[in-house]
Amino acid sequence: MYDKNYMNDCVSKTINLMQSNMIKLDYEDSFAKINFIDRLIKLTNYKIIYLDCDLLYTGYNKSNILDCQKNVVILRPTNKNIIDIIKYVSLQITKTKCLVIIDSLNSFSNLFFIDPGIKITASIMLFASLAKISRSNILFSSKTESEDKYGFFLSIVGTYVIKPKKLFNVVLKKIMK
């Protein structure tokens, strides 16, 4: 169970610290992750590019559990379109301020057959470096079990991802009552 005040506090801290152009969202519960992202989207007044790799957000929108905001472009990456999506996102974040959400790295890694950890790291670093041009933000969510100062391990898919140095980390943890 997630306390409403705890979730609101996490969202408001994230909004206040969006000067950091890379944000990592660690979560234990997928429903809490979507709740957090939905609140963040509602408080963001510029363009949002949502890479819905696990299709959870799309499902909530299609079933009318969540309202899709007008400033959100939802992209559904597949093995066939991932290169075109990376090109599109790269172009968009150089033109205008955006919040790029990669949800989630665990599913994003499934799009790459060879060296997924390297390709995830390269994609994040590409987006982050291009995002500096327009002062955009990159948020990526992941379910991680182990982490060190150099990176983190996506245990579900068995991939190690190098952690960028300038990273704001949000951790959603269950509160036991």
CATH of the domain at 79: 3.40.50.300
- State both tokens at 66: 């969540």
**How far apart are alpha carbons 118 and 116 in whole angstroms?**
5
Q: What is the dihedral of CA 106, 110, 114, 117, to 10 degrees?
A: -10
45: containing domain? 23-164
**How far apart are alpha carbons 32 and 2 in whole angstroms?**
7
Residue 93 in contact with residue 66, Cβ under 8 Å? no
Determine, yes or no, domain membership for 170.
Answer: no
Determine, yes or no, domain membership for 144.
Answer: yes
Q: Give the model's confidence band at 150: pLDDT under 50 very low, under 70 low, under 90 confident, else very high.
A: confident
Determine, yes or no, domain membership for 12.
Answer: no
- State both tokens at 58: 């799309």
**The pLDDT value given to residue 95:** 94
Determine, yes or no, domain membership for 62.
Answer: yes
Sign of CA dihedral 115, 106, 10, 21: positive
SS3 call for 146: strand
Q: What is the DSSP letter of 97?
A: -
Report the share of the chain in percent with pLDDT over 90: 38
The length of the chain in residues reads: 177
Domain tally, the chain: 1
pLDDT of 98 higher than 90: yes
Q: Give the model's confidence band at 19: pLDDT under 50 very low, under 70 low, under 90 confident, else very high.
A: low
Sign of CA dihedral 165, 97, 172, 13: positive
For helices 30-43 and 4-16, what crossing angle results, to 10°? 50
**How far apart are alpha carbons 24 and 91 in whole angstroms?**
22
pTM: 0.84
Determine, yes or no, domain membership for 76.
Answer: yes
Q: How many CB atoms lie within 10 A of CB 170?
A: 18
Residue 7 in contact with residue 32, Cβ under 8 Å? yes
Determine, yes or no, domain membership for 126.
Answer: yes
pLDDT of 126 higher than 70: yes
Say if residue 107 is preceded by a cis peptide, omega within 30 of 0.
Answer: no
Task: Select the more confidently predicted residue: 167 or 20.
Answer: 167
Determine, yes or no, domain membership for 52.
Answer: yes
Determine, yes or no, domain membership for 37.
Answer: yes
